Amino acid sequence: MSASTTSTMPLWVRRVFSEPLRIGETELPENVLLLAKIVALAFITTGQIRLLSWHFLPFLPLFDHLGSPAVFHWVLVTIFLGAATALAYNKHVRICCLVLGGVILISLLSSRVYFENNRTYCACLLILAGLSSRGQSPWPIRLQVVIVYFGAALNKVLQQDWRSGQFFAYWYGQIHCPQMWAHITALIPAMPLARLVCWAAIITEFVLVVGFLVPRWYTWSIWLGAAYHTTLLLVMNSTFGMFYYAMLASYLAFVEWPRAPLQVRYDEDHGPWGRSLTRLQRLDTGRVFNWIAFDSNQKENGVFQPHPHPPGRLLVLDDGKSYSGFAALKRILLFTPFVYFSYVILLGRQAHLLQYDRWLAGAALAVFTPFLTPVGQAAYDWIVSRRRWTSTGVSEEKSCKEEMIVGGQNQS
């Protein structure tokens, strides 16, 4: 969408597209509101909303007396869609979160068939989000994450099938992917490998419990958790219902959202990010960033001098810390809600389009993993150098043509 198109577009049309991307100036902290929007969007995008219960074999007898199961189902769907829409447009966000969580909770209580742990976790997240308030730490959500990992790890370590590796050997080797398991175990003994995988999962979950209890370890715990769940997605080709989306979204409760706009400084003339950053600026409806282009020249003693910053430089200043190049680009993406929403939509629907949804998750993990930062920086430098060479070549070619034209005019 060009700048001219955006400027001539009616205000209400612009707000239709821009308001869902805004997560500031509401009753909820920015990170909690983004968390809730992601869960609600994933619930709709993945088709979970179509599976809301039809009150069959309820946990509470009350639901047997609520009339037609079809009407009950569509009432839940309608309420969920209405609350999700209001949440997207930042209307009464706390109430919307409570309503969304309540709809899922009612659906769980009304049908034993519908009950799943991942849906229960979604209901808890949304309700806890609705109970949060601006200016306060979202410690209930953080505690919920710790409880989930502790319960999962304790449950595994208390089961003999997990400790021996029998669970993974049967689940993956007999049910999920027997052919792949046969090829692997032709090279590696089956039970030692299965035992290693089971204990790796148990230890990882216990490590995450400790990591999410210590604030200075939050960053590494978020990366470890994302790597853990994305690895499961790659191996199993399954998000386990809503669990992948909800678990990673809940990590936002451990992220400190910028209180003041971050300064983004970039080379508008020579860098490869000029047009891309212009698009990101349009998506920055919450004004998370203060976009400043480096001047091509600087004036000293009345004379313009070349700017000292190298062409293609990208810089982000965040609370006294400086990020440049590839690290700066990642910083921008991490605080852009559009990136999260796009990832959820692509991951939720790509399985129906290209059958490569798990590789999208793997690519996202590779981009943000700290261990591949040197590779990303090398790619960034290559793009900058290539763009600089292209820009220089075009400038030289243009200069030669101008000289030929001038020379021809002089001769005539």
pLDDT in tens, 18-37: 889 999 889 999 999 999 99
Last residue of a domain, one of 85, 117, 136: 136
Task: Give the span between the Cα atoms of 90 and 104, in whole angstroms.
Answer: 20
Last residue of a domain, one of 117, 136, 155: 136
Q: pLDDT tens digit string along 220-229? A: 999 999 999 9
pLDDT at 405 > cutoff 50 = no
pLDDT at 399 > cutoff 80 = no
Task: Give the span between the Cα atoms of 306 and 162, in whole angstroms.
Answer: 65
The answer to whether 280 touches 267, Cβ cutoff 8 Å, is no
Q: What is the mean pLDDT of the chain?
A: 84
| 34 & 93 share domain | yes
| 183 & 49 share domain | no
Higher local confidence (pLDDT), 307 or 137: 137
Confidence category of residue 375, pLDDT binned at 50, 70, 90? confident
Compute the average pLDDT of residues 148-159: 96
The pLDDT score that the predictor gives to residue 77 is 97
Q: Report percent pLDDT > 70 for the chain.
A: 81
Higher local confidence (pLDDT), 64 or 85: 85
Q: pLDDT tens digit string along 238-255? A: 889 999 999 999 999 999
The pLDDT score that the predictor gives to residue 278 is 74
pLDDT at 343 > cutoff 80 = yes
| 72 & 197 share domain | no
3-state secondary structure of 169: helix
Q: What are all long-range contacts of 220-228, with beta carbons under 8 Å and residues at least 24 apart?
A: 221/254, 222/251, 222/254, 222/255, 223/368, 223/369, 223/370, 225/251, 226/251, 226/365, 226/368, 227/365, 227/369, 228/201, 228/204
Compute the average pLDDT of residues 133-162: 96
Please state the domain count of the chain. Answer: 3
Higher local confidence (pLDDT), 7 or 259: 259
Q: Which residues contact 279 (CB under 8 A, 6 or more apart)?
A: none
Asked if residue 367 belongs to a domain, the reply is no
| 69 & 212 share domain | no
pLDDT at 308 > cutoff 60 = no
Beta-bridged to residue 315, according to DSSP, are 265, 324
pLDDT at 234 > cutoff 90 = no
| 69 & 168 share domain | no
The pLDDT score that the predictor gives to residue 313 is 74
| 31 & 168 share domain | no
Confidence category of residue 267, pLDDT binned at 50, 70, 90? confident
| 132 & 187 share domain | no
Asked if residue 53 belongs to a domain, the reply is yes
| 126 & 55 share domain | yes
| 141 & 97 share domain | no
Task: Give the span between the Cα atoms of 113 and 72, in whole angstroms.
Answer: 15
Asked if residue 199 belongs to a domain, the reply is yes
Asked if residue 362 belongs to a domain, the reply is no
Domain that holds residue 203: 137-257
Last residue of a domain, one of 257, 289, 310: 257
| 269 & 390 share domain | yes
Q: pLDDT tens digit string along 131-141? A: 999 989 999 99
Higher local confidence (pLDDT), 106 or 264: 106
| 20 & 112 share domain | yes
Asked if residue 245 belongs to a domain, the reply is yes
C-alpha distances in angstroms, 409 versus 236, 400, 403? Answer: 71, 14, 10
For residue 132, count CB atoms less than 10 angstroms from its CB and return exposed for 0-12, middle for 13-18, buried for 19 or more.
buried
Beta-bridged to residue 292, according to DSSP, are 265
The pLDDT score that the predictor gives to residue 292 is 84
The residue written with tokens 């609350």 in the block is: 83
The answer to whether 283 touches 271, Cβ cutoff 8 Å, is no
Asked if residue 149 belongs to a domain, the reply is yes
The answer to whether 212 touches 252, Cβ cutoff 8 Å, is no
The pLDDT score that the predictor gives to residue 373 is 84
Task: Give the span between the Cα atoms of 80 and 100, in whole angstroms.
Answer: 6
Asked if residue 365 belongs to a domain, the reply is no
| 66 & 128 share domain | yes
Task: Give the span between the Cα atoms of 391 and 395, in whole angstroms.
Answer: 6
Higher local confidence (pLDDT), 192 or 381: 192
Compute the average pLDDT of residues 77-103: 97
Asked if residue 143 belongs to a domain, the reply is yes
